[in-house]
Amino acid sequence: MGRRRTPELYRAPFPLYALRVDPSAGLLIAAGGGGAAKTGIKNGVHFLQLEQINGRLSASLLHSHDTETRATMNLALAGNILAAGQDAHCQLLRFQIHQQKGKNKAEKAGSKEQGPRQRKGAAPAEKKSGAETHQEGVEFSVENLHEVQTDFSRDPLQKVVCFNHDNTLLATGGTDGCVRVWKVPTLEKVLEFKAHEGEIEDLALGPDGKLVTVGWDLKASVWQKDQLVTQLHWQENGPTFSNTPYRYQACSESGTFLGLGTVTGSVAIYIAFSLQRLYYVKEAHGIVVTDVAFLPEKGRGPELLGSHETALFSVAVDSRCQLHLLPSRRSAPVWLLLLLCVGLIVMTILLLQSAFPGFL
């Protein structure tokens, strides 16, 4: 498949590492930064407002939150609470958005521009307070709730964070191979155990209390609290025809589709149950894709999707957030196809009756 052009939805003033979508408010949350190095590259979390403008899905910078000397490398979202992995720590943030009174639709429409905003160059300079709201008529606040160290290796780094199904617990994993589970929002530790020899690459908390982890030791494990339930090992359960080393790796799923980003910058969308590839852009970013996320099919998701079947967002170290749209594969509604079939049957019967008067 030839190389296609993908819409650049947004360009940040720093490398992007993490991405989440809030469908209820129509927000795209992108985070990253240059870290503690004194290179002049900022660290921050940017809140983007998703909108349909003239039939196109667009994003505009709504609010920028400065994370000072720490780059956010991973994110989890639970309602209006963000869990941000920054170096060896997890920072809980609460954001709130309010429309100011006195702004009518005409005033709002007059302030909008068609298509993506902040595409060329950096975002406007942030205030000394470390935060700035970039749209008139909107009050946006970000509050630091709690912070805790979650990794204790020689070079500590939190690599993954996730909430459980009811958002009462938070699980973290990092370079020391340990899983730690915390209460939300107090970040009181309730569980800690060694899950992998080496780094934890990804983890997920199930509704039944089970925990799934994948690590650099080529293992994928299922846990009930700190007790191992079952385990897969690539050398035993994976391909045996190649000496190439493999690792289990994470991807984004919407229930219907799987979205993948590669170390070479390519992006693909697959059907989840059959792994049939529906969309592929080779080297869309040209550098490692650090995160992907689907636009959920709830909240404002269907409104923002328009005529498309799904939308996948991708971010990379190149500071860009790209939009990948999958056109609807349904050429006509089912009821219309049935109606056409009935019509064809009726026409066939009438033609046969006219040609053969004794028919029927």
pLDDT at site 102: 58
Q: What pLDDT, on the 0 to 100 scale, is given for residue 354?
A: 77
What is the model's pLDDT at position 239? 54
Q: What is the mean pLDDT of the chain?
A: 85
Contact 311, 325 (CB under 8 A): yes
Number of Cβ within 10 Å of residue 240's Cβ equals 8
pLDDT value of residue 175? 97
Q: What is the pLDDT of residue 297?
A: 86
Which pLDDT score, from 0 to 100, does residue 26 have? 94
Phi then psi for 96, rounded to 5 degrees?
-140, 140
Checking 268-277 for CB contacts under 8 A at 24+ apart, the result is 269/310, 269/312, 269/324, 269/326
pLDDT per position as a tens digit, 69-103:
999 999 999 999 999 999 999 999 999 998 776 55
> Which residues of the chain fall short of a pLDDT of 70?
1-4, 101-130, 235-251, 330-337, 358-360
Per-residue confidence (pLDDT) for residue 335, from 0 to 100: 62
pLDDT at residue 344 in the model = 82
Q: Domain 8-99+137-149+235-329: which CATH class?
A: mainly beta
pLDDT given for residue 119 in this prediction: 38
pTM: 0.81
